[in-house]
Structure 1
C-alpha cells in the first residue's frame, strides 16, 4: 500500500521506486529526507491552490533535484542543477517515458534555484520550486499549518537541516565554484569557501573583447 503523509500519497510505481532507489544508493539521509519534504511541501501547496499536477513526475523531480551534488552524478563543469536534471532525463528516457514528460522533469530540476522564473512555469516546475523554497528558506511558511508541518517533519526529520545543508551544497560544487556565477549558490561559496572571488557581471561587460 502506498504511503500517505499529510493526506498526500507518495507514488509507488515502478518508475518512482526506481528513482527512490537511486537516491538511496547515491545520496544520504540529509538528501533523502529533504527531497521527500520537498515533494510533500510542493504537493501540499498544489492541493491548497487547487493546481493539477502529475504526482509521479513531481516525486521523481524531487528525488533527483539534488542528486547533482553527489559524486555519482556531479560533472566537472556544469551547474549541479543541470547534472541532476540530466540524470533524471536519462533515467526517464531509459524507462520509456515520453520526451515531453522527461523534458518537464528536466526543467523542474534545472530551474529549482532560479528565482523569478520557475514559479511561472508548468505546475510540476513551479511546485518543485515552491517545495524547495519552503523547506530550505521557509518561504510562505504559514501557508501550511503547524500540524501538517509536524506530520511531514516527523516522517522525514530535519535533524539540524539549517546547519547541514549549506556545507552539503558546497561539497557538491566546491570543485567547480565558477558554475555558481549568476545564481544563488554563489552565496554558499562566498560564505564557506576561503578565497572565493565571485565573477562580476559588470567586469564581464567592461572587459569583453569588444573594442568599444
Structure 2
C-alpha cells in the first residue's frame, strides 16, 4: 500500500498543459479538483496492482472525462460520456500520437460509468474507472492508505458537501437530455431529482417491441 506520491508525477508536457487550460476554461472548481483526484487515485491503484499505465494518457482521460457535462462540449442527445470522449479524441488528433493511444483515451472516458467492463480493459481504461469509482463512491477505499488520501485531498480538496455537489453537477450536465441516461447509472440520479422523469425500461422495451413474438 503506497504512502507517498513520489512515483507519480503530474504530467507537464505541452499536451498536458493544454488539457489543463481547457479544463480551467470550460470546467469549474469542483470538476478541476475531482478530475485531478481521479487521476491520482487511478495512478495509485495501477501502481499497487502492478499495472503499468501511461500517466500522460491517463491525465488527459481524467481531465476530459466529465467535459461532456460542460456547456462547451455538451451535445443535444448523446451521453455526456460520449461527448467527453469525442472532445478528447478531437483534442488528441492534434498531436502525433498513435491511434491506439487515442482509442484508449476514448474508451476510458466513454466507459467510465459502465459497470463490469472497464476493469477488464486496457490499463488507461481500467485506471480511469477505478479513479472515478474511488473519488465518487469510495470504491476500494481501504486499498488507499490514509497518507495517500490526505496527500491527494490536500492539493485537490473536496467541497464541503461534495456528495450532493457532484450529484448536482452530474444532473445539471444531462437534465436537458434525460433519454441519454437510459441503461446507465446516471438514470438513478434523474429518477431521484426529476419528478417528471420518465425513463426507459428495458423490460417494457422488449415487451412492447413491434415483433409479434
Normalised by the length of structure 1, the TM-score is: 0.96
State the distance in 1 between where 2:71 and 2:174 align.
10
Does residue 115 in structure 1 map to residue 120 in structure 2? no
Deviation at 1:126, TM superposition (A): 0.4
Aligned match of 2:202:
201
Partner Cα separation in structure 2 for residue 46 and residue 182 of structure 1: 28
Residue by residue over 1:147-189, the C-alpha shift from the partner in whole angstroms, topping out at 9 and shown as x without a partner, is: 1101100100001211100010001000001000001000010
Q: Does 1:81 align with 2:102?
A: no
Deviation (angstroms), 1:194: 2.1
The answer for unaligned runs of 5 or more in structure 1 is none
In structure 2, C-alpha distance between the alignment counterparts of 1:133 and 1:117, rounded to whole Å: 13
In the other structure, the counterpart of 1:188 is 189
Q: TM-score, normalised by structure 2?
A: 0.96
* TM-align CA RMSD: 0.9
1:97 is matched with which residue? 97
Alignment partners' CA distance in 2, 1:80 and 1:125: 17
For residues 24 and 146 of structure 1, the distance between their equivalents in structure 2, rounded to whole angstroms, comes to 28
Distance (whole Å) between structure 2 residues aligned to residue 148 and residue 78 of structure 1:
36
Unaligned runs of 5+ in 2: none
- Give per-residue Cα distances to partners, 1:50-105, cap 9 Å, x unaligned: 11111100000000000000000000010000000000000000223221111110
Moved more, 166-175 or 92-101: 92-101
- Tell me the number of residue pairs that the alignment of Structure 1 and Structure 2 aligns: 208
Instruction: List structure 1 runs of 4+ shifted beyond 3 angstroms.
Output: none
